Amino acid sequence: MFSLSSEEKERLKRLNQDKSVVEALKKLFLSECLKGAMPERMETLAAERIAIDIVKSAFHALSVIQPDSRTGRPEENLV
C-alpha cells in the first residue's frame, strides 16, 4: 500500500512512545470511520468490521515499528 521511509518509521516510533497520543489518535480515527448511518446490508456491515480489524492491526504494526537502518545521527535531535 504505502511504504514508509526509515526516517518516517523513526518518527512514528518516537510518537508511539506517548501512549496517550496513540490512544487519542485511535479514538479519533475510529470515530471518523464509523460516522454516518449504519447500512442495512450484511455484506456492508461485514466489510466495516473487517476494515476496523485492519485499522487495529495497522496500529499494532505501528506500535512495534523499527527504522530500517541507523544513519549515525543522534536520536534526541530528530523530529
pLDDT at 76 (0 to 100): 60
- The pTM of this model reads 0.41
Domain with 54, as residue range(s), is 6-67
Residue 75 lies in a domain: no
Q: How many domains does the chain have?
A: 1
Q: Which portions of the chain are predicted below pLDDT 70? A: 1, 36-39, 68-79
Q: What is the DSSP letter of 70?
A: -
Residue 31 lies in a domain: yes
pLDDT at 53 (0 to 100): 87
Residue 57 lies in a domain: yes
What distance in Å separates the CA atoms of residue 16 and residue 61, rounded to the nearest whole number?
11
